[in-house]
Chains A and B, each alone.
Chain A
Amino acid sequence: MTHTAIAQSMEQELLDREFDALVMRYYQQVYNLAYRLTGNAADAEDLTQEAFLRAYRFFDRYDPTMPFMNWISRILTNLYIDEYRRRKRLPTLSIEERFENEEGEEGEQLDIPDPGPSPLDIAESNQYKEAVQEGLMSLAPEFRTAVVLADVMGHSYEEIAEIMNTSIGTVRSRIHRGRKQLRDIIQRKYPELFERGDLK
């Protein structure tokens, strides 16, 4: 192995270590963002893992002047919106529907075992928290992303514009429309929560 190759290998080793440290440090925050976007633990874990793997693949393009959390949030939100659109295009089969096989016989309902509430679900079983998450899930993905980045993750409009690769005017509009829709949903479905105005 030549000197150049050894130097490249050592440099790669350092980058790998640096990236591993970033994974350890930001995993929980990234997972939290993924969970608030997807609304369930399984999808959130998948999305988090994919975001980190993609970030690793393009780590040589990472500009350290941008906070890592913002950079990976951009990767994650792009992945999420792409995946959301892809799933929307795929035909879905409702598990409530009965189906007929080729001979015309009517089959049973799809036998999908109910995994039951996970420890995370139990911990999250507070009705009001679920109500807010449910409200978030009914927003369009772009509005949901903007609202989550602003109100859950606490980013500024400028940061959100950078993460979502759009203008500040668009961010302002998305947050405003997203909040208004969320307000309508919560007020209609959970008026007592809205009157209370507090999750605790």
Chain B
Amino acid sequence: MNCRYVQSRLSAYLDMELTGHEHQLIRSHIENCIECSTEFERLRRTKHLLRQLPVVQPSQGPEAVLVRLRAQRATVSQNAVIRVGWRSVRWWQMAVGAAAIGVFLWWNSTVAETPSDVTFASSTPKPLLFRSSSEPSLFRMRSPLPSEMLNPVPFNQPVFSTPILPTNYYPAHNSVPSFEGLYHTFYFQSR
């Protein structure tokens, strides 16, 4: 066992971190080697100085940490309320909601097309969702013609016809955008 090997293990020896056999070998070497025992003594003093360093007292206690923790928890619990709110919606509630939306859309598009005396001639067409039942659908299903009865259309295949709009459906001429109309609008506005 040479001095280089011993000196590389002096700190571990000092800290009692060697196996029993290795500890014994180094101990017997130090007892017989002035250089290694001097080095060991220096390291022992250094460790002793460090061990004597007092425990430093903080100028403020743990209150600052606790205050910051409370603030962090408040933020986390606010976010949790939002999360829990979403989680509390059950799958069947979501399904019922989706079904309700589906029914509403279906009703809007296929509601009974009974004629009505509502006149749209002087007003602009309303958006699809709020269109009255009296308005014709662009893709209205029609009854099969007698000639088609012999060779019926498959059940699941809709028959489309060109929409025949009632005369009072067409908007009044002054609501149709035209070049002249736009010209007049801009002309009088600019005056």
Chain A interface residues toward B at CB < 8 A: 1-2, 5, 16, 19-20, 23-24, 27-29, 31-32, 35-36, 41, 44-45, 48-49, 52-53, 56, 118-120, 123-124, 128-129, 132-133, 136, 147-148, 150-152, 156-157, 172, 175-176, 179-180, 182-183, 186-187, 193-194, 197-200
Contacts and interface: CB of A to CB of B under 8 A. Distances in A.
Give me the 10 closest cross-chain CB pairs, A-B, nearest first: A151-B50, A27-B62, A176-B11, A199-B52, A197-B45, A183-B46, A31-B58, A35-B56, A52-B65, A157-B17
Contacts of A52: 62, 65, 69
Interface of B: 8-12, 15, 17, 42-43, 45-62, 64-66, 68-69, 72-73, 84, 87-88
Contact of B46 (A32, A119, A179): A179
A40 to B, nearest CB: 10
Contact of B69 (A23, A176, A194): A23
B17 A132 contact: no
Contact of B54 (A41, A129, A186): A129
A136 B55 CA distance: 15
Judged by DSSP, the binding face of B is helix
B57 A152 contact: no
Contacts of B54: 129
Contacts, number: 124
Contacts of A29: 55
Nearest to A183: B46
B47 A172 contact: no
Contact of B65 (A48, A133, A180): A48
B66 A133 contact: no
Nearest to B58: A31
A41 B59 contact: yes
10 contacts: A20-B66, A45-B64, A48-B58, A151-B47, A152-B51, A152-B53, A172-B17, A175-B12, A179-B43, A179-B46
